[in-house]
Amino acid sequence: MMVVDLLIELLLMPLVAFLVGLVMVLWMRRLGARIQRRVGPPFLQPLYDVVKLFGKETQISHGVLHDIGIIMAMGGYIAAETLLPVPGMDGVAAYGGIITLTYLMMIPSLGLALGVGQCANPNGSIGISRALTAMLAYDVPFVIVVFGVAYHAGSANLIEIIDGQQQAGVAGWGLFEMPLLAIAGLITLQGSLGKQPFEVYVAPAEIATGPMVEMGGKYLGGLFVMQAFQFYTATVLYVSLFLGGGTNWIDLLLKSFLVLTIPVSVAYLFPRYRTEDLVRLLWKWPVMIGLLGVAFVV
């Protein structure tokens, strides 16, 4: 029975993540609309988008690798969700821990990179070059944060990290135990979500020079799904590290949306950094704050 339960969990976790992720996309759009004094899209708009993109008649493939790239981008997150414990479901989190999760979260970016590379469009390649550079930039403070939290908890197992916080009560949350790391984590989150001011590689306003340049139909749909997963994974992970995870789903969702609100709001207030400035900024402030935070922990 155990195996069947686990299998159900493994299927359910990505599914829930996908759905919540779609709502998060909606939340981002609505929030942006509010800030810009617009109405914003209806509730089911993200779902419509997915259905529309996947259902398009004209699907242009630039080769097998183009397909595989998108599959890796989605599949990587589907796998990652099973390592991210949520209320009632631990999935396989005990078999990998946070380091594995961190690495699994890199796979979608690489899948995207492969797919875009196959498209033979120099503008796509430029976008990938920027995206990977950004990854290099935000992953450094990110691993410092992960290190600090894991070291503080005495475990690299996310289940134990969450349990530890929940047992210690609100005061035992990572946010209060390690405020500096929480701040660094927030800045990192901004980078990893690719939100302004760190969104030069996505460059939605000038699509000609971004990874998405050759993407249409289900290819773009795949990336849309990937973004939904990304919102979910990043915010839930942040909640798990600093806000005691979720004791139940409402708790978790509340916290996650709250966390998501911050980068999304910030995004609408800022312009964009150039690639090198992005690296400079992310290697300076969050790294310094993070290291200081770790110094308090160790």
Partner 1 sequence: MEINTLDLLALISLVTVATALLVGGQGRGGWQLSLLYLLQLVVVASMVMMAGGEGIISTLQFSTVGESIGWRLDGLGLYFLLITVGTAAFVSFYMAGPWGEAYQRDGGSLRWLQVALATNVFTMLLLLASGDLLSLFIGWELASWAAFWMMALAGGIALKVALRYLIYAMVGAMMVFALIVILYGQAGSFGFDEIREASVQMERGTTILVLLLTVAGFGIKMGLLPFHLWQAPAYAETPGPGSAFLGAISSRLGLFAILLVLFRVVDGAWIELYLGFMNPQTLLAWIAVATIIFPTFTAMRQNDARQLLAWHGIGQGGYMLLGIAMMDPLGVAGGMLHIFNHATYQAALFLAVTAVIYRTQTSDLNHLGGLVVRMPLTFATMLVGIIGLAGLPPMNGFVSKWLVYRSLLEQGEVLLFVGAVIGTLGTILSVYKLLHNTFLGSLRLEHQAVREVPITMWMPMILLSGLILLTGIFPGVPLQWVAEAAASIGLPMPQFNLGGVIAEGGSLDMRVISGVLLSGFAIAALIFYGAGSSRRVNPLDNYAGGHFLYASNRYHYSNNFYAGLMHLIKPWYRGIFERLEQIILLLLAVIADLLQGLYLQRQPGRVALVVLVLLLWWSTL
What residues numbered 88-147 form the site for partner 1, per CB under 8 A? 92, 94-100, 103-104, 106-107, 110, 113-114, 117-123, 125-126, 128-130, 132-133, 135-136, 139-140, 143-144, 147
Q: Please, what is the minimum distance in Å from the beta carbon of residue 255 to partner 1?
A: 24
Q: Does 284 bind partner 1 (CB under 8 A)?
A: no
Binding positions for partner 1, 255-274, rule CB under 8 A:
274
Q: Does 150 bind partner 1 (CB under 8 A)?
A: yes
> Contact letters (x/-) for partner 1, 54-93, by CB under 8 A?
xxxxxxxxxx-x-x--xxxxxxxxxxx-xx--------x-
Q: Please, what is the minimum distance in Å from the beta carbon of residue 186 to partner 1?
A: 19
Q: Does 196 bind partner 1 (CB under 8 A)?
A: no
Q: How many residues does the chain have?
A: 298
Question: Closer to partner 1 at the Cβ: 166 or 275?
Answer: 275
Q: Please, what is the minimum distance in Å from the beta carbon of residue 117 to partner 1?
A: 3
Closest CA to 230 of 16, 86, 18: 18
> Contact letters (x/-) for partner 1, 5-44, by CB under 8 A?
-----x---x------------------------------
Cα–Cα distance, 243 to 281 (Å, whole number): 25
Q: Please, what is the minimum distance in Å from the beta carbon of residue 243 to partner 1?
A: 21
Q: Does 166 bind partner 1 (CB under 8 A)?
A: no
Q: Please, what is the minimum distance in Å from the beta carbon of residue 282 to partner 1?
A: 11
DSSP letter at 158 equals H
Q: Please, what is the minimum distance in Å from the beta carbon of residue 218 to partner 1?
A: 5
Question: Closer to partner 1 at the Cβ: 27 or 147?
Answer: 147
> Contact letters (x/-) for partner 1, 229-258, by CB under 8 A?
------------------------------
How far from 227 is each of 11, 102, 122, 149, 235, CA to CA, in Å?
Answer: 19, 16, 23, 26, 12
Q: Please, what is the minimum distance in Å from the beta carbon of residue 267 to partner 1?
A: 20
How far from 197 is each of 134, 186, 194, 202, 264, CA to CA, in Å?
Answer: 12, 13, 8, 11, 11
**In whole angstroms, what separates CA 45 from the centre of its chain?**
20
DSSP letter at 181 equals H
Tokens at 89, concatenated? 């479901």
Task: List Cβ neighbours of 109 (8 Å cut-off, separation of 6 or more).
Answer: 73, 131, 132, 135
Question: Closer to partner 1 at the Cβ: 181 or 264?
Answer: 181
How far from 82 is each of 17, 165, 189, 297, CA to CA, in Å?
Answer: 10, 21, 20, 29
Beta-bridge partner residues of 86: 89
DSSP letter at 89 equals B
The helix or strand, by DSSP H or E, that contains position 124, with its residue range, turns out to be: helix 122-153
CA trace torsion 162, 165, 167, 172 (10° rounding): 180
Q: Please, what is the minimum distance in Å from the beta carbon of residue 51 to partner 1?
A: 10
Give the binding range for partner 1 (CB under 8 A) out of 169-177, 190-198, 210-218, 258-266: 210-218
Q: Does 214 bind partner 1 (CB under 8 A)?
A: yes
